Each structure stands twice: as structure tokens, then as C-alpha cells.
Chain A
Amino acid sequence: MSADWPTQIFEELKSADVRQVAFVPDAGHSQLIRLCEAEPTMHTVTLTTEEEGIAMLGGAWAGGQRGALLMQSSGVGNCINMLSLQQEYRMPLFALVTMRGDWGEFNPQQIPMGQSTGPVLEAAGVLVYRCDDAALMADTVRHAAALAFNTSRVVAVLIGQRVVGAKNFFK
């Protein structure tokens, strides 16, 4: 059951009435992206950089639709200034961040942003929840999304490499 955490996230996004899903792809999000692309009630948009998704989902919410932003931890660094949109206009944003530079990482270049992802988001006023256990994924996503949309806050769930699996460079 908990092994299929991407499907559980997808079901939670559907239950939360998420209608627009924006992403810069990450391997850890590949199954969730496929599920969202196949779901007729969800409009999916591929971004060139993660900050586009911050602004896009601001527009979506202004127009009455909820969204979710999917990205890798490296993308968090691209978002910081744009996050002031949601913070200053008091608008919700729900982001699912798959971690790199974390549990079992191979690539040293991933460490600086991976290790600063949580602190940087929190410094920008984002409410951050971390999930390192697939069995807790559905519960974490459900309550983090509820917090974002019920209270118009920016909420990010960091999905640890312990759940995603470290990238294999020797395929």
C-alpha cells in the first residue's frame, strides 16, 4: 500500500480539488506527473523554471482554481523572490518537493541546495513539512494541502530521498 505513494499523492490532490498542476520534472515525480497528465479534471503545464509555477498558480487561484507545484529541491532556489506574490497577497500555494542532496546522494553538486532547501523555504515564510516514510505520505499531503487552501498559506511538503530512492548513476 505505502509502496505506491505517488498514487496516494495523486488521490489526495484530486480530493483537494486541485485542477492545475505545474512542474519542472523530477524523476521522483515521474509517476505522479503521468497520473496527473492522464486525469481529465487536471490541467498540466510544463515550466521552463519553477518560479513560473509560483506565478501561474497565483493566477489560477485568483481565477478560482486550486493548483499544485511539483519540483525537485534544486528548483526551490529559483522560487524565492516569486514566493512574495503569495505571501504579500495572502494566497495559498501547495508545493511538493522531491529531495536531492539528501539520503544516499551520489552527486556532490546536489548537496548545497538540497541541504538548504528547508531553511531557505522557512526563511521565506513557507510552512514546511517533511515526509521520510512512505506510510505517512497520504496523511502528510492531505493535511498540508488542507492547511494551504483553508488558511491561504504557502505550504511545501519535502519528500525525502529515503522515500524517493537515491538516483542511480550506474544504470
Chain B
Amino acid sequence: MSSELLKRRSVVARVLRDRGDTLVVTGLGNSSYDVAGTSDSAHNFYLWGAMGGAAVFGLGLARAQPGRRVLVITGDGEMLMGLGSLATVAVDAPANLGIVVLDNERFAETGMQATHTARGVDLAGIARAAGIADACLVRTADELERRMETLGAAKTTTFTVIKVSSEPNPTALPPRDGPYIRSRFREALLGAAAHR
């Protein structure tokens, strides 16, 4: 079974292949490394902490930039720490916000301990029950292709859990100087207004 699991870095490469000017927020840990390793951009806001906050960071960004797609890419451990934020996001429901959870069922950064999703907790089900109607679970390459065909043009908040393998990847660290990350991001998005 585990040999059939999707590989997280190729999943992220596929998710961001046609990103255009999509703004990407990454949850701490491997999600940040995957995005840095496949699609580094000034339009990426890499989180190095703020565990549990990635989805709501995306919410504030989506409301500030209603004309842009905002995609949060995070892990199952990060999402589990912010389960309440799924209720907050579901109620506010910006049309331009998507959340992708790379679910390896592990706290990978701290020694591969099993998370709750390894023990039956269904993040897509929780999101759907909170009110994010377009929530689904992806397990195969075919399912990923079908999901990606509709995701970019979605007219509602979307939530996508993608089961991925827990095997390690080559190191691909994004910048970790906070002021650099935020100034790079804001200047690319806002131009001179970033410095007012």
C-alpha cells in the first residue's frame, strides 16, 4: 500500500504547475520545503512557525486580495492544530481561497510520530462538516489530475487532502529571514505601496 502512495514533492509540483499569479502560503516544515523546492516565487509566503495558523493566514490574505487566487499548502499536523480555523474559514468562505493538506499521517519534523489522521481522523470530513462543501480526499495520481482540473477555476473555498508518502526528500529550504520573506512578498504584490 505504501509503495502506491503519492510522493509529496511531485504532488506539489503538479498542484503549482499552472499557478499563474496565485499567492501561496505554506505551513511550517515539509510543506514549506516542498514549495521552495518546486515553485519558489516572490508570491510565496513561507511560514516557519505559526503552527495551526496557515489556513487563517490564507483567509486574511484572501480577503485583502479578493482578485487573486490564494492557495494554502500545509501538512496534516499543522492543520490538526488549527481545526477551529476550519470553522472560521467555512463561515467566512472567500471564493478565492483554497487549502491543500499534504497528509503523510506523520509529525515528520519531530521524528515521524503518527498523527491523528493515521488513526482514523478524516480532515476532509471535518472540513465538510464545518461547511466547506467542496472538500475532498485524493489518493491517486488520477484523482489528483481530476481535482486539479477544477481547482484553479473554483468559485468557492476549496479543501483538498492529498495522502502522500512519508519518505524523506532532498533538503530544499526557503529563505528563513522573516522580514525578507514578507518584504519580498509584499513588494511583488503591492509594488511601492508595500513601503508606505
Contact = CB atoms under 8 A, between A and B. Distances in A.
B133 interface: no
Interface stretch (B113-121, B151-159, B177-185): B177-185
A49 B83 CA distance: 10
Contacts, number: 118
B63 A65 contact: yes
Nearest to B45: A62
Contacts of B62: 59, 63
Nearest to A90: B179
Contact of B190 (A56, A64, A85): A64
B34 to A, nearest CB: 20
B179 A55 contact: no
Nearest to A55: B53
Given A55-B54, A63-B189, A20 B60 contact: yes
A46 interface: yes
A48 B85 contact: yes
Nearest to A22: B60
Given A58-B57, A60-B64, A64-B190, A52 B49 contact: no
A55 B79 CA distance: 13
A51 B54 CA distance: 11
Given A64-B186, A82-B53, A59 B91 contact: no
Chain A to chain B: the 4 pairs with minimum beta-carbon distance, closest first: A55-B53, A63-B64, A59-B60, A48-B84
18 contacts: A20-B63, A43-B63, A45-B59, A48-B87, A49-B84, A52-B56, A52-B82, A56-B56, A57-B60, A59-B64, A62-B45, A62-B182, A62-B185, A63-B61, A64-B189, A64-B194, A85-B47, A90-B178
Given A46-B91, A55-B85, A62-B45, 14 more contacts: A43-B63, A48-B84, A49-B84, A55-B50, A55-B54, A55-B56, A55-B60, A60-B60, A62-B60, A64-B186, A81-B51, A82-B52, A85-B57, A89-B182
